[in-house]
Structure formats: structure tokens, C-alpha cells
Amino acid sequence: TPYDPSSPYSATKAASDHLVNAYCHTFGLTTKTTNCSNNYGPYQYPEKLIPLVTLNCLEGKPIPVYGTGGNVRDWLFVGDHCRAIWEVAHRGRNGETYNVGGNSERSNIDVVRTICQIVGEETGRGSLEELITFVQDRPGHDWRYAIDSSKLQDELGWKPTTTFEQGIRETVRWYVHNTTWVDSVRSGSYRDWIDANYAHRSGASA
């Protein structure tokens, strides 16, 4: 469907795509654009929904859920997304935009309850749904995001290979067994490591 941003945040994303397309059209710049649904998987920063819920379960903290939790999102496993980007970069047509979706639409509350169940199984604590806390919805919170990736599938043969059931279990287990990494991100030591090892490659000072 045509771009129709409904918030300042989504408007900035649409604007960046339009700017890229303008450079391609006006100056002949080689461009290939991908738009994706919600990503998830190992190493995602802790403030995102899936790691946040997982970690709150582990720590016995309340799990905030906006409104009734009925908002729907499509979830795309990070490995599938990486394959899609590779395909577009190497085989996609210049100046084209490709949508990348996971074919895994779920309501937020269903995602949260699934995580509670998996963490409970992994830790032997049983159900952790009592931690779910419904909070006031945020302004302009879109009810549903969906994406049609048929163009990418038809032209380049890509399709997601990880089901949500497989990906969410792998992801939650990763966070359960990698709390040291999470602690390093929260403390800032991970950012210090990134700066020490990569800042010089971009010419920035550590």
C-alpha cells in the first residue's frame, strides 16, 4: 500500500525512503530498499518487547502491556531478515523497494503469554502470567502492522524459514542462558567494548 505514516516516528521512516528514491531518480545513485516487520532474535537490546518480557520474567518484575494487549504485529526472525537483505543486495533490482515479512502476525498479549510460558518451563517456575500488568496505551499506538513480502518471494525466491514458535523459543532460551551479556549491555561495558574495538575503524575517537 502507499506510504501513510500516522506518527512523527513513522513519518521520519517514510521520509528517509523518499529521500533515497529521489537520489536514485535524480542522480542515478544505485539504491535498493527493504522494509521489514518487527525483528526479534538473540542479541537484541533489552528494551525491546521480547527481551524485556523475558528478563522481567527472570527477575520477577511486572511486565507492562499497553492497553488490552490486542495490538497486532508481524514478527520476523533475525536470521531470515539477514538472508533477505543479502538476496536484495546481490540480486534485487536497482531503485526497487522490497518488503520483508515473517508471516507471523501475533497480538502483543499472545506474545507476552508465550514468553511467560517458555521462561516458566526453562526455569521450572510454572506460569508467570501473574506478572502481566496492563498500563495506559500510548498516544498514536497503531493497532496493527502487516506487510506483504510476495514481491520478494516472487522475484528472488526468498521466504521466511523460521516459524514464530521456533524463533521465539530459541530467542527466549538464549536470553535465559546469556544473562552475562545482558548485564554487560545494561551496565555500559558492552558499549565500551564496541567503542574500543570499532571506533577507530570509522575514524572516531574512543
Indicate which CATH number applies to the domain containing 49: 3.90.25.10
Q: Cα–Cα–Cα angle for 193, 191, 43, nearest 5°?
A: 95
d(CA 96, CA 5): 20
pLDDT of 81 > 60? The answer is yes
51 and 141 together in one domain: yes
* pTM for the full predicted model: 0.88
pLDDT of residue 172: 98
22 and 53 together in one domain: no
What DSSP character marks residue 144?
B
Q: How confident is the model at residue 202 (pLDDT cuts 50, 70, 90)?
A: very low
d(CA 69, CA 190): 32
pLDDT tens-digit map of 39-51? 999 999 998 999 9
Name the domain count of the chain: 2
d(CA 119, CA 53): 10
pLDDT of residue 1: 65
Which domain covers residue 175, as residue numbers?
37-94+102-179
51 inside domain? yes
Give the whole-number percent of the chain exceeding pLDDT 90: 77
> Which of 120, 123, 111, 130 lies closest to 52 in space, CA to CA?
111
Q: How confident is the model at residue 192 (pLDDT cuts 50, 70, 90)?
A: confident
131 inside domain? yes
13 inside domain? yes
pLDDT tens-digit map of 91-140? 999 999 999 999 999 999 999 999 999 999 999 998 899 999 999 887 77
Residue 158 contacts residue 83 (beta carbons within 8 Å): yes
pLDDT of residue 198: 60
5 and 70 together in one domain: no
56 inside domain? yes
pLDDT of residue 200: 57
88 and 17 together in one domain: no
139 and 155 together in one domain: yes
77 and 11 together in one domain: no
The predicted model gives 183-189 an average pLDDT of: 84
pLDDT of 190 > 80? The answer is no
Mean pLDDT of the chain: 91
pLDDT tens-digit map of 1-17? 678 888 888 899 999 99
Largest Cα separation within the chain, whole Å, is 60
80 and 116 together in one domain: yes
